Amino acid sequence: MITKRQYLEYKELGIKYLEKAYVIIREDEKEKIEVADFGLSDLDNFAIITLTFFNTERISAKVIVVPPRRICPEHWHPPVVHDPGKEEIMRLRWGTLYLYVEGEKTSNPKAKLPEYRRKYFTVWHEIIMKPGDQYYLPPGVKHWFQAGDEGAVIDDYSTCSRDALDQFTDPDIVRIPVIKEE
């Protein structure tokens, strides 16, 4: 659970990173920025800040800010009715991103995970992304990511996004933020 103060602080942090990455956003779009702590109440390790530009029944475009060394936990996009699941292209705009997907395990990964949640990370094929790099994620592929020391800003293009339906390896994850009053 995230406090209202933390939520607002992270929204402001997200705006600063978007400006660093030269993302043009209108005032009304600033209100739509979302902060996810994944229900873990551990913003020192788990946090992403997302601005969804549009999300139709067929396509979606977002920009995702990952503060320094923060993690988006391992998840996948499952089938929904007749849809095989979200297809996603992550294109790094700014910073460094360590993306982990299914495949041969990287021997010395750059990720730094908190020990108390390590057991919930099962895919370890590392892709190191720099600005301009992009990676295609087919439906149903487990993946997770962590920003480098300076943080990361990702342009995210996909088929229809249904974040609330994402599946996580960690059973304690709550995808839609719960904000508590202080």
171 CB burial (10 A radius; 0-12, 13-18, 19+): exposed
- In this predicted structure, what is the pLDDT of residue 177? 76
To the nearest whole number, what is the mean pLDDT of the chain?
95
Greater model confidence, 161 or 129: 129
pTM for the whole structure: 0.95
Q: What is the DSSP string of 35-48?
A: EE-TTS--TTTB-E
Alpha-carbon distance of 101 to 132, in angstroms, equals 19
- In this predicted structure, what is the pLDDT of residue 163? 82
Alpha-carbon distance of 78 to 162, in angstroms, equals 10
| CATH number for the segment(s) 2-180 | 2.60.120.10
Exposure class string for 150-162: b at 16+ Cβ within 10 A, else e: ebbbbbbbbbebe
Q: What is the rounded average pLDDT of the residues 22-44?
A: 95
- In this predicted structure, what is the pLDDT of residue 44? 96
Q: Can you read off the two tokens belonging to residue 31? A: 């209100």
Q: Can you read off the two tokens belonging to residue 135? A: 């990676």
Contact 178, 39 (CB under 8 A): yes
Contact 98, 164 (CB under 8 A): no
Q: Where are the domains of the chain?
A: 2-180
H or E element: which one contains 162? none
Task: Summarize pLDDT for 73-109 with one digit per residue, the tens.
Answer: 999 999 988 889 899 999 999 999 999 999 999 999 9
- In this predicted structure, what is the pLDDT of residue 35? 96
